Amino acid sequence: MADTKYIFVTGGVISSLGKGLTAAALGTLLEHRGLKVVLQKFDPYLNVDPGTMNPFQHGEVYVLDDGAETDLDLGHYERFTNVQLTRLNNLTSGQVYQTVLENERKGVYLGKTVQVIPHVTEEIQKRIYLMAEQSKADVVITEIGGTTGDIEGLPFLEAIREFALDVGTNNAMFIHVTYVPFIKAAGELKTKPTQQSVAKLREIGITPHVLVCRCEKPLDKELRAKISMFCNVPLEAVIEEKDVDHSIYEVPLMLQRERMDEIVCRHLGLNTPQADMSQWREIIRTLIAPSHRVRIGVVGKYIGLQDAYKSVYEALIHGGIANDCGVEIVRIEAQEIERHGAEKMLSGLGGILVPGGFGERGIEGKIRAAQFAREKRIPYLGLCLGMQIAVIEFARNVLKLERAHSTEFEPRSPHPVICLQEEQKLVTKKGGTMRLGRQPAQLLMGTLAAKLYGAFVIQERHRHRYEFNNKYRKSFEEAGMVFSGTTPDGKLIELIEIPDHPFFIASQFHPEFQSKPHRPHPLFRGFIAAAHLAMHQKPL
């Protein structure tokens, strides 16, 4: 595209610096300047997508409308901006090599030796052009995963170096997110790792135009001057990005205070008005000083991991924003419930949420959490596996179907209330074979779901193999469960609820993937309101 501008975000020194957040926050600012922005992530690992990776390896797998299983940074992109993401927005080395090797087998390279440069790098560049063409965005922000100096990241860095040359220096820009550690013993911030990481980039031929310095303490003028000189970056483009005090949603405001959007627009020749962030500031105000507070327990299996339930935690916070309510999230390891009992682990909560998951560990603990919520009349929100858990619990304890289970965990259960759909029984490959992505569901009039959504047809994202077993539909209904959402053909259950309860609802889909701070998801909004009522006995 002739006048598209390109921003590349790289990372230095260590991983987990929040490159994705920085890229997303820049996206927020540029959108508020009236620009059309698109964000994409390049991941140097060889997995074709992160769908096959364990959360311990990778954190959450973020699902897009089109069913792509992607890196969790794409979740930041969608939450911070209004971009429409598809599988094109996440490219991995695995995909690049898959394409190059398929091309080689087809004879596309006409007898040439197939090499990293130019064949792999060209494939990477094609994706950047394609993104620009398809999105018709003014600015394409591309984040390169990993840390500068990683061997597997080299082809990507080479590709973007050449790319910038191709489109011209005023049309492309490099932003390097780096770390300035505070050394306690010396009582000082240290700039050396940043200097070295920039040196590494320059070795490859990339000179960053902006340095975003992640730090725990403020970066004073002297340090900025030192970084500027040693790294060959203008002083004003040495940006401080301190750890946030309250919320990640402060990052766009922090970057704006540092004039990052102004510097970017000036470099790229984008003549745009200042970003009006007043609405965003209002969101932050609610987050910092909410009028109400509520405590929510999330019962999962990867509770120790910061990132495993990222979108769930964020959506809870959004539900809080909608209710002017601060959400304290209590992370509860499901196995701890098995060890210490539900009463001990779950008392004092306003609401209980069981998120999605795979594998047997902690299942019984989750079932006891759902039972506790149902019997003690505590608001419950179940997501995907959290819905299946609620179904199993209801079968065992209300319908008295002993050993009722999902065939995922007990293939020979006498009461397989959750089981595989016929077409899933034929699937043998693991990657990308689940029921994935955005699908319509129809809601039943007069239900909690219909009330919360204010609609009868909804579109939600899925990522699962197992389903409610329709053989049991009638007995569940007779015992008081309502199937408030189904696929339009009525065949698959999408939402369940228990009307004789303050708030008990669970979905086979993942509503957390569609929640934004400025557009909280209705299920989370309703859940937080109900949890507040349960904790404080007064409505919001």
Distance, in Å, from the CA atom of 508 to the CA atom of 387, rounded to the nearest integer, reads: 6
Residue pointed to by tokens 């603990």: 365
Q: How many CB atoms lie within 10 A of CB 306?
A: 11
| 415 tagged catalytic | no
Active-site position among 231, 325, 384, 419: 384
Distance, in Å, from the CA atom of 8 to the CA atom of 5, rounded to the nearest integer, reads: 10
Outline where 331-417 has alpha helix (H).
Answer: 334-340, 342-346, 363-375, 385-397
Instruction: Work out which of 466, 476, 504, 527 binds ligand GLN, going by CB under 6 A.
Output: 466
Based on the shown chain and the rule CB under 6 A, indicate whether residue 465 belongs to the binding site for ligand GLN: yes
Distance, in Å, from the CA atom of 527 to the CA atom of 416, rounded to the nearest integer, reads: 29
Extract the tokens encoding 141. Answer: 């922000």
User: Quick one: 119 or 464, whose CB is closer to ligand GLN?
Assistant: 464
Instruction: Work out which of 37, 385, 389, 452 binds ligand GLN, going by CB under 6 A.
Output: 385
Please report how close the Cβ of residue 539 comes to ligand GLN at its closest, in angstroms.
31
Binding segment for ligand GLN (CB under 6 A), chosen from 35-43, 205-213, 459-467, 486-494, is 459-467
Please report how close the Cβ of residue 357 comes to ligand GLN at its closest, in angstroms.
5
Binding segment for ligand GLN (CB under 6 A), chosen from 76-84, 113-121, 446-454, 461-469, is 461-469
Based on the shown chain and the rule CB under 6 A, indicate whether residue 361 belongs to the binding site for ligand GLN: no
Based on the shown chain and the rule CB under 6 A, indicate whether residue 464 belongs to the binding site for ligand GLN: yes
| 510 tagged catalytic | yes
User: Quick one: 179 or 394, whose CB is closer to ligand GLN?
Assistant: 394
Based on the shown chain and the rule CB under 6 A, indicate whether residue 382 belongs to the binding site for ligand GLN: no
What binding mask, one character per residue, do residues 244-273 give for ligand GLN by CB under 6 A, x or -? ------------------------------
For residue 52, give Cα distances in angstroms to 41, 60, 294, 303, 434: 18, 11, 35, 19, 11
Strand partners, 188: 183
Binding segment for ligand GLN (CB under 6 A), chosen from 156-164, 166-174, 204-212, 463-471, is 463-471
Extract the tokens encoding 9. Answer: 């975000």
Binding segment for ligand GLN (CB under 6 A), chosen from 140-148, 332-340, 351-359, 425-433, is 351-359
| 512 tagged catalytic | yes
Active-site position among 176, 318, 462, 510: 510
Assess whether the previous peptide bond of 118 is cis (omega < 30° from 0). yes
Instruction: Work out which of 358, 398, 475, 516 binds ligand GLN, going by CB under 6 A.
Output: 358
Residue pointed to by tokens 């975000």: 9
Residue nearest to ligand GLN (CB): 356
Burial class of residue 425 (count of CB atoms within 10 Å of its CB; 0-12, 13-18, 19+):
exposed
Residue pointed to by tokens 């090797």: 101
Please report how close the Cβ of residue 60 comes to ligand GLN at its closest, in angstroms.
11
Based on the shown chain and the rule CB under 6 A, indicate whether residue 501 belongs to the binding site for ligand GLN: no
Contact 382, 353 (CB under 8 A): yes
Q: Among 357, 494, 520, 382, which residue's Cα sits nearest to residue 438?
A: 494
User: Quick one: 97 or 358, whose CB is closer to ligand GLN?
Assistant: 358
Please report how close the Cβ of residue 510 comes to ligand GLN at its closest, in angstroms.
7
DSSP assignment string, 169-237: GGGEEEEEEEE--EETTTTEE--HHHHHHHHHHHHHT---SEEEEEESS---HHHHHHHHHHHT--GGG
Distance, in Å, from the CA atom of 459 to the CA atom of 66, rounded to the nearest integer, reads: 12
Binding footprint of ligand GLN on the chain (CB under 6 A): 356-358, 384-385, 408, 463-466
